Chain A
Amino acid sequence: MLGGGTDSSAITMEWALTELIRHPKIMKRAQEELDTIVGMTRPVLPSDLPNLPYLQAIIKENFRLHPALPLGVPHFNSEDVQILNYNIPANTTVFVNIWAIGRDPKVWKKPLEFDPDRFSNSNIKLGGSSYSLLPFGSGRRRCPGLDLAQLMVQYSLATILHAFDWFAQPGIKPEDMNMMETFGAICPKAQPLVAIAKPRLSSQVYNQLT
């Protein structure tokens, strides 16, 4: 767990914040939602999270485009299996290309666009019951840390969006930010995000946090 719960959540947060810096209108809308639900006089509390549907949609959209494990963790069959008309011999390694499924143009309109609104009025869930969005896999081998990961990503993203305005580093236009990934066991941004934060709350609120 020390390994599993660390890197994947951290790079997911990095991807999400990068997408929001690239899309200032979406960041602003998320902050307006936070200001309405949380207000400007106290920090975000974990109990606020279920009341932030737009933030949740941003997180789903981020998982759709940037799953931490684009090919999941390999599955394996110890006996022959018949799928549709195909025979899969025993001892075959199975990869589910989660990354490609999240960008399938037959399922997702304008698949390369970062558009959290595609999840408003949709009942697509992250837990593995919607097969077009599988950041945690599905079935009995689904990621056991799913709830923890969602909690961490939601709570920390909500807090840093509520507490700060975020900008790309000087000299780089938001729309020119490099969005390529590198491939390893997990898939982080190839160029680590460098950004500037400006506080947006009064100093009393920051004091309440610490």
Chain B
Amino acid sequence: MEYVFNFWFLVVGAISVLLSFAWLIPKGTSQPPGPPNWPIVGSLFYLSKLPHRSLELLAKKYGPIMYMRLGYLNHIVISNAEMALEVLKIHDADFASRPSSIIGKYAGFEYSDVVFSPYGDNWRLLRKICATELLTQARLKTFESGRQEEVARMVEKIAKYNQEGKVMKLRPIFHELTNNNICRMLFGKYREISDSFLKKEFDELVDCVIEMGEVGGKFNISDLIPILKPFDVQGLERQMKHISNRATNSLSIILNEYRNGNKMVADSTVTDFVETLLSHDGKLDERSIMGVLAVCTHHYNPFILTRCVCNIPSMFINVVLCI
């Protein structure tokens, strides 16, 4: 009798414990499927040098919405059109922010540019200026003759290679085209221009963007394992801070000259982006103006793991040495 009593006591106890858990957990709390998560590194080991390819293979096994912990941070990975619609349309506003990262901090001028800025008023204003003043079809049309000139210069260069019977590498040729074109829109000026007004600052700025791209394209372990942040084990933060300071100095000088009525190219009749951004002086803070002008394409990317996975042991050694 005593045993029976104990048995039912246990059953009721167990059910009530389970129910209390079920009650504590809200409905639909299940996590999307995903690969196993290991201590500290999470699922980092499942990624190769080409993480988009590894993730495609993982999605074949775990489905179009996957959960992965990378370092200490939660990630979900979307891999088909239906789930993309779910995240980018139905839940657009819910997922409209950006994670913090050192690249957003330094290349994005303290997260104040249009790419890295978290979802909020500053981002809304920047987005509005981009969508209604800077990058509209009508505005792009005002730069048409500049674009034509740049494309003509490219054709000339290609023809010259041909005359000399040389094979050519196309990437630097295309890169020069797009870089000159953007510079003309931002400042009315491209790199080779003979005009020397603000040349030093302008060249420094272009160099900074290239350097920031190189440093920012590297995987930063502290973005995923925040406990390592104060140690800056790879020295990336220090480098980015230095580049960011140089870019800020150059941009401050350029912006001040504009504020004093001195455009980069004095006789240019086309309104460049610096002028447009400065017309919002007061509403837009200095950092946002700089951010829009300089923002780097090398977006924060925790999947740049080429060096990461093999470097983890040596990073820990570094941390130990730091302590």
Contacts and interface: CB of A to CB of B under 8 A. Distances in A.
A185 B299 contact: yes
B179 A6 contact: yes
A210 interface: yes
A6 B87 contact: no
A77 B95 contact: yes
Contact of A140 (B50, B92, B156, B295): B92
B152 interface: yes
Nearest to A18: B170
A81 B147 contact: no
A76 B135 CA distance: 25
B213 A7 contact: yes
Interface string B284-323: 0000000011111111111110100000000000000000
Contacts, number: 308
Nearest to A183: B50
Contact of A183 (B32, B169, B181, B306): B306
A140 B293 contact: no
A141 B140 CA distance: 20
A95 B156 CA distance: 41
Contact of B167 (A9, A87, A94, A195): A195
A4 B296 contact: yes
Nearest to B48: A183
Interface stretch (B10-18, B158-166, B234-242, B261-269): B158-166
Contact of B171 (A81, A170, A193, A209): A193
Contacts of A148: 135, 140
Contacts of B147: 46, 151-152, 155
Interface stretch (A25-33, A34-42, A97-105, A115-123): A97-105
B113 to A, nearest CB: 9
Nearest to B57: A100
B178 interface: yes
B135 A147 contact: yes
B23 to A, nearest CB: 16
Contacts of B183: 2
A150 to B, nearest CB: 10
A7 B212 CA distance: 13
Interface in A46-97: 46, 69-71, 73-79, 81-89, 91-97
B247 to A, nearest CB: 10
B75 A94 contact: yes
Interface in B35-59: 49-53, 55-56, 59
B158 A197 contact: yes
Nearest to B98: A76
Given A185-B299, A188-B171, A78 B97 contact: yes
A126 interface: no
Interface of B: 26, 28-32, 49-53, 55-56, 59, 65, 73-82, 84-89, 91-99, 107, 114-115, 118-119, 127, 130-131, 134-137, 140, 144, 147-148, 151-156, 158-159, 161-162, 167-171, 174-175, 177-179, 181-183, 185-186, 205-206, 209, 212-213, 216-217, 273, 292-304, 306
18 contacts: A1-B293, A3-B209, A4-B295, A7-B213, A8-B297, A10-B179, A71-B303, A75-B96, A86-B28, A86-B30, A87-B31, A96-B78, A96-B87, A97-B77, A99-B56, A147-B136, A148-B140, A185-B217
Given A1-B273, A3-B296, A152-B181, 6 more contacts: A74-B302, A77-B97, A85-B28, A87-B31, A159-B154, A194-B168
